[in-house]
Amino acid sequence: MKTIVTKYYGPTNTLGARIVATSKPKGKGTIFGYDHALNSEENHNAAALRLMDKLDWSGVMRGGGFAEGTMVWVFDDDASPTIVRDEFGNTASRKAYDPAIPLD
């Protein structure tokens, strides 16, 4: 599965704050200078989009916080396996999620 990991790196004596975006499994990446006019999530979004453009990837990606200063982005498509847990704790694993089908 193609994913993007974005990680914040604070400023050093020689470099400003930045977001590094890396693709998995290929390991290609890009560095996005931190834009202080944007908030943290917007900076991570911009870095992921820049890498998507560089790799010529298209589709819907969903992002979420992983660890302090890190976000993980995965494609949201019908081919991806889906695990869903509803508000009652019921879970289901499906090839594609359909909210009209009740969870087991």
Residue 78's region, left for phi above 0, alpha for psi from -120 to 50, else beta, is: alpha
Q: Concatenated DSSP letters for 72-103? A: EEEE--TTS-EEEE-TTS-EEEESS--TTSPP
Q: ∠ at Cα 26 (21, 27), nearest 5°?
A: 40
> What average pLDDT does the chain have?
81
What is the mean pLDDT of the segment spanning 70-97? 67
- Domain range list for the chain: 3-75
What pLDDT does residue 46 have? 92
pLDDT at 103 over 60: no
Q: Would you say 51 and 45 are in contact if contact means Cβ atoms under 8 Å apart?
A: no
| Average of per-residue pLDDT across 16-41 | 91
Answer yes or no: is pLDDT of 82 > 70. no
pLDDT of residue 81: 57
